[in-house]
Structures are given as C-alpha cells and as structure tokens.
Amino acid sequence: MSPRIVLISAASLLLVLGARPAESQHTLSAYSACSTTDSVYVIWTLYDPTNDPTAHPEWVGYDILRRPLPGCGTYVVANDQIIPREFGITHTVYYQEQNPSTGTVHEYRVIAVDANRQQVFLPGFCAPCDVYQECPPYSAPITAGTLIDEGGIFLRVNPCPGSCYPFPYLEGSLADELRPYAGTPTAFQFFGSVGCGGVEGCALLVDHWEFSSCVTPTATRSWGRLKTIYR
C-alpha cells in the first residue's frame, strides 16, 4: 500500500460537507470515496470553533482504524505514522490507500490519538467517525438484513445476526416498495452508500438491491454447507 495524506486548512469546506461546526467543542465529520477501482480516500474535516492552539495539547493527531465487513473482527491501524493534527484551526485531511481487498466493504474509523497512539476521547468529537467503502463501487453489499418499520416515512435495515453491517434507514419510493416485507424474515442485500451523522442516524442511498438470506458459514470444509440464523 502507498498511502497519501493531504492536510488542508479549510473552514470554507464546511459547505462542502453540509455540516455545521459545534459552538463550543471540536467536531469531526468524515466521508469516503473511491479514487480508482482499487484505491480508497478517507476524508475528514475537524471543526475547531475556538481556534485555540492550546486546547487539548495531548491530542497530537489521528489514526485510521479499518476492518472488513460483514465480519466483526479486530480493527487494524491503516496508517503507518500518526497523521498530524493542525492545532487551533479548522482543517480537512485526505488519506488515500490501496484497498487491501477489492470488492469488499471496509469500515474505516478515524480516532484522535496522543503521541503514544492512545485514543484521546473528546466530547462530541464524532459526527460520525465511521465510514463504509468498497472499491469498485457497488461491488459488494454495503449492508444486508431484514427490515423494520419505524413508522412515518422510514424503514430501518436490521443487519443480519453475527454481522457488523451498519444499521441505516431508507426512505422514499423504495421504502414504500419494500414496506410489505418489514417485520418478516425476508432479507435483502443493498448495494449503494451509507452516510452517517444526521439526527436519524445513518442514511442508505441505494443503487440496487437483491433478495438474500441471513446466513453464516459453518465450521466445515465446504462453503456449500450454510446455516440460516434467525434471532
């Protein structure tokens, strides 16, 4: 992998991300994109409402944690070195890496760290810190599970048991189309993108979907033997 890191002082990029800075605390907002068919950008903006270079001196930079989905495995640190923080100023960081496995959704999590790479916990820091990306786009389901009708205009995707897929909502004509399946054991795979940070949580933007089933491989020699799990 050959990661690239670009750090830009950019208070004006608030409009690009469509978010507002907190009035009295640091807030990080992240998203992701494919730059090529096998390369991921993780992009985040740190809003510094005070422009105080002495605030949280123990916080020196960022690490990016990564894990493949749908599993719930251990996160690994994607970046070799701490990505430096710019003190006392709103800034945006672009981190690029070759996807460790094309055609697989990866969850990326941005965390604040100290000089020893220990996580620094800051009030209201994430909005959110997690993003989900696969390259090429739509080459793997971004989430999979059954549907929950929460009332109103939303449906919620309840991830398959044993998975760590996101728990997004969908709305609009697709929600209306799939509403009869809410509350049933019928499962779906959704291909698209997930954006988090709104009041309702993560939103699912669907490119296409498929009927599926919530299954996990058993501990056998054959991939053909699968067991359906319902809880």
10 and 97 inside one domain: yes
ω before 136 within 30° of 0 (cis)?
yes
Mean of the per-residue pLDDT values for the chain?
83
> Which among 103, 133, 163 is the end of a domain?
133
- Confirm whether 53 is domain-assigned: yes
The rounded distance, in Å, linking the Cα atoms of 100 and 113 is 23
* Strand, helix or coil for residue 75: coil
> Which among 100, 133, 166 is the end of a domain?
133
119 and 149 inside one domain: no
- Confirm whether 84 is domain-assigned: yes
202 and 89 inside one domain: no
Residue 123, class by beta-carbon neighbours within 10 Å (0-12 exposed, 13-18 middle, 19+ buried)?
A: exposed
111 and 41 inside one domain: yes
Total domains present in the chain: 2
The rounded distance, in Å, linking the Cα atoms of 47 and 55 is 13
Q: Which two tokens stand for residue 209?
A: 């979907």
The rounded distance, in Å, linking the Cα atoms of 54 and 17 is 26
15 and 115 inside one domain: yes
- Confirm whether 219 is domain-assigned: yes
- Confirm whether 220 is domain-assigned: yes
What's the rounded mean pLDDT across residues 50-78?
A: 92
117 and 30 inside one domain: yes
What is the predicted pLDDT for the residue at 4? 57
The CATH number that applies at residue 73 is 2.60.40.10
Q: What is the pLDDT of residues 169-192, one digit of tens each?
A: 999 999 999 999 999 999 999 999
What's the rounded mean pLDDT across residues 139-164?
A: 95
What is the predicted pLDDT for the residue at 49? 79
Find the range with the poorest average confidence among 110-114, 139-143, 207-211, 221-225.
221-225
What is the predicted pLDDT for the residue at 102? 85
The rounded distance, in Å, linking the Cα atoms of 90 and 44 is 11
What's the rounded mean pLDDT across residues 130-143?
A: 94
Provide the percentage of residues in the chain whose pLDDT is more than 70: 82
The pLDDT of residue 38 is above 90: no
Yes or no: say if 140 and 132 are a contact pair by the CB < 8 Å rule: no
- Confirm whether 81 is domain-assigned: yes
42 and 76 inside one domain: yes
17 and 125 inside one domain: yes
Domain span at residue 147 reads 143-228
> Which among 106, 133, 160 is the end of a domain?
133
Q: Would you place residue 23 in the very low, low, confident or very high pLDDT band (cuts 50, 70, 90)?
A: very low
104 and 172 inside one domain: no
192 and 93 inside one domain: no
The neighbour count for residue 6, using CB atoms within 10 Å, is 11
- Confirm whether 138 is domain-assigned: no
- Confirm whether 50 is domain-assigned: yes
Q: Which two tokens stand for residue 190?
A: 């959704």
What's the rounded mean pLDDT across residues 207-213?
A: 96
129 and 82 inside one domain: yes
DSSP 136-168: STTSS-SEEEEEEE-STT-EEEEEPTT------
Q: Where are the beta strands (DSSP E) in 25-142?
A: 27-36, 39-47, 61-68, 76-77, 83-84, 91-98, 106-113, 130-133
The rounded distance, in Å, linking the Cα atoms of 220 and 88 is 55
Residue 212, class by beta-carbon neighbours within 10 Å (0-12 exposed, 13-18 middle, 19+ buried)?
A: middle
CA-CA-CA-CA torsion for 12, 46, 62, 82, nearest 10 degrees? 30
- Helix (H) or strand (E) holding 2, with range, is none
Global model pTM greater than 0.85: no
122 and 163 inside one domain: no
The CATH number that applies at residue 208 is 2.40.50
- Find all residues with CB under 8 Å of 16, minimum gap 6, and list them: none
- Give Cα separations from 112 to 5, 14, 27, 44 (angstroms): 16, 20, 11, 12
The pLDDT of residue 35 is above 90: no
